[in-house]
Structure 1
Amino acid sequence: MISREVAWRIFAAEFNSSSYEIKGEGEKAPSFLISPLGAKINRIFVVGVLTDNENVGNENEPVWRAKITDPTGTFYLTAGQYQPEASMALAKLQPPCFVAVVGKFRTYSPEEGKLYVSIRPERIGKVEAAIRDNWVLETCKASSDRISAMEEAMKLGEPDADKLMQIGFSLPLAEGAALSVKHYHPENLTRYHAMVVDALKFLLPEYQTGPDMSADAAVPEEIEIAEEDDVDKEALVLAMIESLDSGRGAAWDEVVKKSKEQGIEREELDTIANSLLDKGFVYEPVLGRMRKI
């Protein structure tokens, strides 16, 4: 009997940066995707905001493509005739909503040296905001564990899983970290430390938002900016978008105007808006309008 691989918790930023695939030898042998932090992925478990789903096939042979965002980026999913359960679920889901997904990784290499990753979902279902928040917290913990294993592996002259296990890491963590260091040759892990910090910040009350958020939590029309230099401009723009939304989404021209009044120029606003879209805080119901999720 072949055991089922554990589904890894991993953020989109790490998953999408993965470029090392180990193909299984033999008909039943599993393949693995080695992430930059050493996750040895066959199956993956993610929770986020479904921001887009579309049938790019037809009624008889549907092929669903979807996007799911977490605090660090976007996962891309494809489900066809060989994923009937996931396809039927995607056909019924209406974005934006929180969803949980279990699936396997897929890779696409258009040319040598380039590898794009996505998820082939096995199961997908709608969940509540609390489930998403718990997943973010657990994934922060898992990411921190991988960072620790990577840091120890980087200290070794020749990364070795047995030596990492002697330090106290589990076999999957030790094997993944050793393989990752040999392939990615990281100089430091600053980017991933920052990824975990940003994801944790997402759980703070001022960032809490979602499709089922109460309409009573309104934001005043006039937004005052404190004088401190450390004002969180993403939170400010998010509040602007909500205050300018009369039901059909905030008109982008109005957001631009309001932001300029508050000292945020267009180029900086574009960067902030793209970050909010990537993190799943907002979406565009139609061109030229933006809504808080």
Structure 2
Amino acid sequence: MMKIREPAWRVFATEYNASTLELKGEGERAPSYVISPLGAMVNRIFIVGILTDLQNIGTEHEPYWRATVSDGTDRFYIYAGKYAPDATATLARIEPPAFVAVIGKSRTYSPEEGRIYVSIRPERILPVDEQVKDNWILETVRATLKRIEAVEEAREMASPSAEGLIRLGYPAPLAEGVMRALPYYQDVDTNLFRGTVLEALENILPGRATYYPMPQDLPSGPDEIDDDGLDDEDREDLVLNLIERLDTNKKGAPLAQLTREAAELGIGDDEVEEIINSLLDKGLIYEPTIGRMKRI
């Protein structure tokens, strides 16, 4: 009997990384799944984003690549070695930052009981353009909203069941996934994932590359900056502009110098670290070498 291939789910990194429920298949060739808080039963996954970091943590003769791909909401973690020859060969040729499409299998790692980290073992990796990335975001927005609706429909049922969701028009794999996710994740905050959808859409709205003044156009000292007037986006823009200005040799802005100059603008060390992590998650910067940040 021919084995039916598992569908490749479209899931944002925020939802995928929040997944801590694993369903292990029984039998030699039975599929295993990572079940997300919204009920995506992920055996295979399809993502598009910006490859921001790439390292060979193996050897020259037997490479083992570790990569991160940002979709604008968070980062996917990808590992490829000898069991993924096509993907491994592609990663050896790509120079970050680059738009890529990845189709692969879900993987989990549990360093200790009660903690699960998810990653992707790629089957194929393809260089793509920004339009492909934007189309993927729109498709993944639709898929995410459908999962949110399914979770909320199930909560409204007197006796939630997969059959009840199927009667409402939801696909069987999603209906089953939601029924497995609900008792495990319990009071999952669907508004959190609506926020993820909005965050993703902001990345493809016209005018997102709005001009912001360079730091030299701003007041020179923290005493002249109204701290209450700078919201999170303002601070991220300031740090982005600093990274671009300090990247004088095109090898990335030195983190130590970035931290010093940010302090002169009233942004403390801890805040700089939070902003950098946020910009990395959104795929707006990457770390070409340790201790340097570069704008994409």
- 3-state SS, counterpart of residue 147 of structure 1: helix
Cα pair 1:221 1:244 within 8 Å, conserved: no
Alpha carbons of structure 1 residues 208 and 121: separation in structure 2 relative to 1, 3 Å: farther
- 3-state SS, counterpart of residue 48 of structure 1: strand
Structure-to-structure mapping, 1:16-35, within 5 angstroms: 16-35=17-36
* The one of 227, 237, 240 aligned to 2:239: 237
Following superposition, the deviation at residue 189 of structure 1 comes to: 1.7
- Which shows bigger deviation, 255-264 or 236-245? 255-264
Among the aligned pairs, what percent are the same residue? 49
Instruction: Tell me the residue number matched to 2:267.
Output: 264
- d(CA) in 2 for partners of 1:268, 1:206: 27
Alpha carbons of structure 1 residues 94 and 2: separation in structure 2 relative to 1, 3 Å: same
Cα pair 2:154 2:161 within 8 Å, conserved: yes
- d(CA) in 2 for partners of 1:13, 1:266: 25
Residue by residue over 1:201-251, the C-alpha shift from the partner in whole angstroms, topping out at 9 and shown as x without a partner, is 122345459xxxxxxx99756445998665722234223322343233234
Structure-to-structure mapping, 1:159-198, within 5 angstroms: 159-198=160-199
Instruction: Tell me the residue number matched to 1:213.
Output: none
Residue by residue over 1:7-27, the C-alpha shift from the partner in whole angstroms, topping out at 9 and shown as x without a partner, is 111111111111111122222
Unaligned runs of 5+ in 2: 220-224
Unaligned runs of 5+ in 1: 210-216
Structure-to-structure mapping, 1:198-277, within 5 angstroms: 198-205=199-206, 207-208=208-209, 220=214, 222-224=216-218, 232-233=233-234, 234-246=236-248, 247-277=250-280
In the superposition, the TM-score normalised over structure 1's length comes to 0.87
Counterpart amino acid of 1:286?
T
Alpha carbons of structure 1 residues 241 and 56: separation in structure 2 relative to 1, 3 Å: closer
Alpha carbons of structure 1 residues 63 and 251: separation in structure 2 relative to 1, 3 Å: closer
Following superposition, the deviation at residue 273 of structure 1 comes to: 1.3
Alpha carbons of structure 1 residues 86 and 145: separation in structure 2 relative to 1, 3 Å: same
Following superposition, the deviation at residue 154 of structure 1 comes to: 1.9
Cα pair 1:207 1:235 within 8 Å, conserved: no
Counterpart amino acid of 1:124?
I
Cα pair 1:75 1:119 within 8 Å, conserved: yes
Cα pair 1:206 1:235 within 8 Å, conserved: no
Cα pair 1:8 1:39 within 8 Å, conserved: yes
Structure-to-structure mapping, 1:2-81, within 5 angstroms: 2-81=3-82
Cα pair 1:101 1:123 within 8 Å, conserved: yes
Alpha carbons of structure 1 residues 5 and 189: separation in structure 2 relative to 1, 3 Å: same
Following superposition, the deviation at residue 143 of structure 1 comes to: 0.9
Cα pair 2:102 2:126 within 8 Å, conserved: yes
- d(CA) in 1 for partners of 2:247, 2:271: 21
Counterpart amino acid of 1:203?
I
Following superposition, the deviation at residue 104 of structure 1 comes to: 0.4
- The number of residue pairs the alignment matches comes to 286
Following superposition, the deviation at residue 54 of structure 1 comes to: 2.2
- d(CA) in 2 for partners of 1:81, 1:284: 26
- d(CA) in 2 for partners of 1:230, 1:28: 52
- d(CA) in 1 for partners of 2:154, 2:215: 52
- d(CA) in 1 for partners of 2:167, 2:149: 14
Counterpart amino acid of 2:273?
D
Instruction: Tell me the residue number matched to 1:212.
Output: none
- d(CA) in 2 for partners of 1:29, 1:270: 43
Instruction: Tell me the residue number matched to 1:150.
Output: 151
Residue by residue over 1:109-135, the C-alpha shift from the partner in whole angstroms, topping out at 9 and shown as x without a partner, is 233222221111000011112211221
- d(CA) in 1 for partners of 2:107, 2:37: 17
